[in-house]
Each structure stands twice: as structure tokens, then as C-alpha cells.
């Protein structure tokens, strides 16, 4: 989206690269705070990058 | 990068402490083993305080789940273990009333107190964390 590597995104968000990989592969649903910070970084609405299917916490 | 360096340092300290403990065991020196472990702990505490370590939320979640799982397995295991070790000495069977298996009862008592301590610690930490994260009040 912004031509960022996983490492760079992790650095900007203050998380590990493993967390970025887990979010990308739908294995980890980020906290609301992190989701908002990511949406702010990419200048999009939160629902444009994250959706929850079934309304259950997948973590 | 800082995180990577911290992990490398932690691994190096782990190897160093392991080597010291191995040497201490071969020389039968408990003091050396204790000194090695304490030195490693103090060193890591100093490193942690001087280097800003990011707390990754996924890592925190993994730690939470691992702690939950450990508690869920460990508490019933030592509780049942204590029960099984204490049962024979209170069963009235002749072989146990002669006092030949006193060590089993002692071990059972230790496990029983350990289970009690674990449950008490869990309850206390649950209470304080519940208050810290705003779940203690009755107000709506």
C-alpha cells in the first residue's frame, strides 16, 4: 500500500515483524489501538484494512 | 534492531550462565551456581532498564495464553497428585499405618500446600489485575 517492507511497518508501529506477518496471514487480530494506528499510517478507514467475520474475537 | 540485539544478548547470557552452572555442578559448588545465576539475572535487569524494549501485543497475548495453560494444567495436576499421595495414609490399611511410607504423606502435604499457594497467588493476582483494569467496581 505504501511500499513498506514488513520490517519497516513493524518499526513504525512499534511491533515485531512476526506480528506483521501474523496480521497479514489472518492469524492474529490486532488490538483496537494498533488497528487505529495502522489505519492512520495508511490514511484509510479502519474497516478498509480490518474486517471481523462472524463478530467473534478470533484470538 | 534494538530488539534483535537484546535477544542476541539474552541468548549469550543464557549460554554463559548455563556454562557456569555446568562447571559448578561438576565441581559440586552450589555457591558458584547461585552466583552465576544471580549475576546473569542482575546483568539482564540492567540491560533491560538501559535499553528500551518494545512490548509487542501479540507476544503479550502469547504469554497470557501460555500462563493460562500452565495454570490450567499445573494446578489440577499437583492437586490430584497431593490427593493421591495423602489418600493411602488415611485409608486405614495396615501396610500404610505401619509408617513405612511416611515420605509419601510428606510429599503429599508439600504438593497440597503448593497447590494451595498456587491457587491463592492466582486469586490475589486476579483480584489486583481486575482492580487495575477497572473491573472492581459495581457502578454501571
* Regions of chain A with pLDDT less than 70: 1, 54-59
Domain boundary assignment for chain B: 3-50, 57-132
Radius of gyration of chain A from Cα atoms? 11
Do the beta carbons of residue A12 and residue A41 sit within 8 Å?
Answer: yes
Nearest to B75 by CA among B86, B67, B85: B67
Candidates A14, A18, A28; nearest CB to B54? A14
Distance, in Å, from the CA atom of A43 to the CA atom of B17, rounded to the nearest integer, reads 48
- Within chain B, which residues score under 50 in pLDDT? none
Whether ipTM tops 0.85, in short, is no
Pairwise CA distance, residues A39 & A31, whole Å:
12
Closest CB to B3: pick one of A16, A31, A34: A16
Give tens-digit pLDDT for B53-63. 667 899 899 99
List C-alpha distances in Å: A24 to A5, A21, A59, B109. Answer: 12, 5, 14, 50
Amino acid at each position: 500500500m505504501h511500499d513498506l517492507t514488513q520490517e519497516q511497518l513493524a518499526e513504525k508501529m512499534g511491533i515485531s515483524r512476526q506480528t506483521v506477518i501474523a496480521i497479514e496471514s489472518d492469524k492474529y487480530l490486532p488490538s483496537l489501538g494498533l488497528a487505529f494506528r495502522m489505519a492512520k499510517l495508511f490514511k484509510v478507514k479502519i474497516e478498509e484494512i480490518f474486517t471481523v467475520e462472524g463478530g467473534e474475537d478470533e484470538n | 534492531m534494538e530488539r534483535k540485539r537484546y535477544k542476541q544478548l539474552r541468548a549469550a547470557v543464557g549460554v554463559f550462565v548455563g556454562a557456569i552452572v555446568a562447571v559448578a555442578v561438576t565441581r559440586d559448588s552450589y555457591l558458584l551456581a547461585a552466583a552465576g545465576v544471580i549475576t546473569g539475572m542482575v546483568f539482564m535487569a540492567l540491560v533491560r532498564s538501559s535499553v528500551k524494549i518494545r512490548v509487542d501485543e501479540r507476544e503479550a497475548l502469547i504469554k497470557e495464553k501460555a500462563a493460562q495453560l500452565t495454570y490450567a494444567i499445573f494446578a489440577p495436576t499437583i492437586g490430584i497428585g497431593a490427593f493421591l499421595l495423602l489418600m493411602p495414609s488415611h485409608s486405614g490399611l495396615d501396610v500404610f499405618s505401619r509408617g513405612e511410607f511416611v515420605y509419601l504423606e510428606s510429599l503429599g502435604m508439600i504438593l497440597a500446600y503448593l497447590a494451595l499457594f498456587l491457587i491463592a497467588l492466582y486469586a490475589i493476582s486476579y483480584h489486583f489485575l481486575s482492580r487495575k483494569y477497572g473491573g472492581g467496581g459495581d457502578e454501571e
